[in-house]
Structure 1
Amino acid sequence: MTEMRDVRHGLSLCAYELRKATEAAARVLAASPAGSTETALAAMLAELDLLGLDANLLDGGTRRLGDPKHLPVWDVLADPAEGAACLTKGLTNAMACLAVAPSGSLFDPGPAFYMEKLVAPPQAVGHLDPAAPVEDRLTALARCLGKAVDDLNIFILEKPRHRDLVERVEAAGARVIRYPAGDVAGALLAAMPGSGVDALMGTGGIAEGLLAACAARVMGACFLARLDPQLATERRAVADAGLDTHAWMDLESLVRTDNVVFCATGIASGLLLDGVERQGDVWRSQSLLVGGGAGPRQMLTSWSQG
């Protein structure tokens, strides 16, 4: 019992401290919407260094955080500018995101860059067949949520690859919520009952997918995914690595632990979070903090000097 209390306390404290890293990245891009992702990432990593995490940063390769003489205890997923392509266009939903899980507990996508996802609220767990036709998926989802298909709101990234998906969802009677970016925000909203988004469908980046999977694991949501290479070079690399592009994975395959922490800070106000605001030398930011088990599930507003 004492050990369990310690784990819960540790996850709560970890989420609270980690949000300083997402806040730092969000401030960089809020101050300069055309600024580089690398600058925002540097701000995020500087805050992580202050926490002394011995971890691997999973960013396509493996970058060590903390003391290189220590074995990595954690794996870190970081996207300091998720959806930030919208910023220079005056659009919304951009966030800085971070997830931390025990080392080796996250799915390794190898050379894959893209992942198809189906995300829905907890009521849908075990009731959706992601390989079924779109119309059947919508019917099953509506049944889980106690709604008519006509009342469903489906978040889909506005990309050419999704034209057929959008047409089929709309032909079935559901409403499509289109955004040019913001894959993680869409998945988070789909995972939250009562958010106004009933599901996320479609293909997006694998890094964003794994970040969203960490949050979905904590929230008990339905999250199903398969590798979905988009370019010939990616398809060859994935095939050479022996990875299956037809098999759908659930959260037990993607995030193999409940001891995961996810936090996100809004850069520009969107469907989920308020964006960063500055008044004089005071920055106001809003963050979502979620931790596994009985860890935190909080929206936190912070004020910081600088």
Structure 2
Amino acid sequence: MEAPTRNLALDLARVTEAAALSSARWLGRGDKESGDKAAVDAMRKSFSTLEIDGRVIIGEGEKDEAPMLYNGEKVGSGNGPGMDVAVDPVEGTRLLAYGRPNAISVVGMAPKNTMFNPGPSFYMKKLVVPEAARDIVDIDAPADEMLKKIAKVLGKDVDDMTVFVLDKPRHAKIIEEIRRAGARILLHTDGDITGSLMAVNPKSDVDVMMGTGGTPEGVLSAIAIRIMGGAMIAKLDPQLVDEKNSLIDAGIDTRRVYTEKDLVKSDDLYFSATGISGGSFLGGVSFSGYGATTHTLSMRGLTGSIRYMEAVHNFETLMKVSNVKYD
């Protein structure tokens, strides 16, 4: 297999920037389908310029449900290294539609055949912590007991800790346990990739991310966590009867505990996320009379490079060389 010789994370930055620029026009307009479609279209066109032989492992769904960037779709020029690709053109479509913070566009890549394929799994229970807490985490332990142990290894009091949790009915018990422990809670309606990254980012106030979110989002998070450091443990957590039956039919053991290294089995990783609506994680797209400004997190696994990039885009000149529509 041909090894990448260039930093593909910088190429991916152009992909997520294009998706963010296109979808940001739909901020707060109440139409999540159109916002997502704008991102998907822009992302797919941008991928066509990459010198990779890519295959979408984490996409918008099966081919009959998602005509573009579907699971199994080939992306890139077809030349260059074979890569597994994970995309979330808009993580937080409802955040975008209703003008709420922390909608982002995300792409991750790993060498061919190294990325976990979720198959029929839609939901995954996750616990994400800084590196210091790697050896003491237990996905099945009550949240209050777990937080006391994590606080000890982080050198904090529990009531100094902040826990990211999705604000969903299924998390009522976890939220009760966190409050019983005395920790602070950051509740978000959507966006558990954002929560996972905040938990391992030393610049963030978040110490722990816990709860059940999307399985595809878990794989994307694992790519970033392997590069940034920190730890994730996870278990498939079907929320629907049909999902549970599909996992049983596929012979998948929902008792298995995964780590970030099980979800992506390589250090040769690339990750990019660009803010769409802005917020506590990444700045959003801001438009001017001539273009826009974007904020992107770009990472490469082999070098450990983590870049926070602010880019100013001049639409008049950009449209002369780009096949992506931004307005």
Which residue does the alignment assign to 2:96? 87
Higher mean C-alpha displacement, 223-232 vs 101-110? 101-110
AA at the equivalent of 1:105: T
Matched, 1:51 2:50: yes
Deviation at 1:90, TM superposition (A): 2.3
For residue 3 of structure 1, what is the aligned residue in structure 2?
Answer: none
Q: In structure 1, what is the Cα distance between the partners aligned to 2:38 and 2:239?
A: 28
Deviates more, 1:220-229 or 1:288-297: 288-297
- CA RMSD, Structure 1 to Structure 2 (Å): 1.6
Task: Give the distance between the partners of 1:242 and 1:191, measured in 2 at CA.
Answer: 33
CA distance in 2, matches of 1:152, 1:66: 43
Whether 1:196 aligns to 2:205 is: yes
Distance 2:279 2:129 in 1: 19
Does the Cα contact within 8 Å between 2:49 and 2:77 map onto a contact in 1?
A: no
SS at match of 2:224: helix
**What is aligned with 1:278?**
287
User: Any gaps of 5 or more consecutive residues in structure 1?
Assistant: 1-5
* Identity in percent: 38
Helix, strand or coil for the counterpart of 1:62?
A: coil
Equivalent position of 1:30 in the other structure:
24
CA-CA distance at 1:250 after TM superposition: 0.9
Q: Which amino acid counterpart does residue 171 of structure 1 have in structure 2?
A: R
In the alignment, structure 1 residue 42 sits paired with structure 2 residue 52: no
Determine if the alignment matches structure 1 residue 145 to structure 2 residue 147. no
Deviation at 1:87, TM superposition (A): 2.1
* 8 Å Cα contact 2:35-2:93 kept in structure 1: no
In the other structure, the counterpart of 1:217 is 226
Q: Which residue of 1 aligns with 2:64?
A: none
Would you say 1:18 and 2:12 are equivalent positions? yes
Asked if 1:180 is matched to 2:186, the reply is no
Tell me what 2:73 maps to. 63
Task: State the AA in 1 paired with 2:213.
Answer: G
> 1:107 Cα shift?
1.3
Conserved in 1, the CA contact under 8 Å of 2:50 and 2:77? no
Q: Secondary structure at the match of 1:51?
A: coil
SS at match of 2:187: strand
1:72-109 alpha-carbon deviations (Å, 9 max, x no partner): 70011011100131123221000000001001101122
Structure 1's 71 and 261: CA in aligned 2 closer, same or farther, altered over 3 A? closer
Report if the CA contact (8 A) 1:77-1:99 is conserved.
yes
Residue type of the alignment partner of 2:10 = Y
| Distance (Å, rounded) in 2 between the aligned partners of 1:53 and 1:38 | 23
Give the 5 Å matches for 1:220-235.
Answer: 220-235=229-244
Q: Is the 8 A contact 2:96 2:103 kept in 1?
A: yes
What is residue 144 of structure 2 aligned with on the other side? 135
Q: Structure 2 CA distance, aligned partners of 1:109 and 1:78?
A: 13
Q: 1:243 aligns with which of 233, 240, 252?
A: 252
How many residues were matched structurally?
A: 297
1:105·1:255 contact (CA, 8 Å) conserved in 2? yes
8 Å contact from structure 1 (residues 224, 249) kept in 2: yes
- Matched residue SS, 2:49: helix
1:156/1:178 contact within 8 Å kept = yes
* Contact kept? 1:56, 1:72, Cα under 8 Å: no
Give the aligned residue type for 1:262: F
Cα distance in 1, alignment partners of residues 114 and 9 from structure 2: 18
Alpha-carbon contact 1:114-1:227 (below 8 Å) kept? yes
Question: Which sits farther off after the overlay, 290-299 or 94-103?
Answer: 290-299
Structure 1 position 194, deviation (Å): 4.2
Q: Is the 8 A contact 1:125 1:222 kept in 2?
A: yes
In the alignment, the residues of structure 2 paired with residue 28 and residue 194 of structure 1 have an alpha-carbon distance, to the nearest angstrom, of 28
Matches within 5 A, 1:256-271: 256-271=265-280
Query: In terms of mean alpha carbon deviation, does 35-44 or 234-243 score higher?
Result: 35-44
Deviations 1:111-141 (A, max 9, x none): 1011110001121122212222212211111
Deviation at 1:45? 1.3
Q: Does the 8 A contact of 1:213 with 1:255 survive in 2? A: yes
Match of 2:321 in 1: none
Letter in 2 for 1:32: W
Letter of the structure 2 residue corresponding to residue 149 of structure 1: V
- Counterpart contact for 2:282–2:295, Cα < 8 Å: yes
Instruction: Give the match's secondary structure for 2:125.
Output: strand
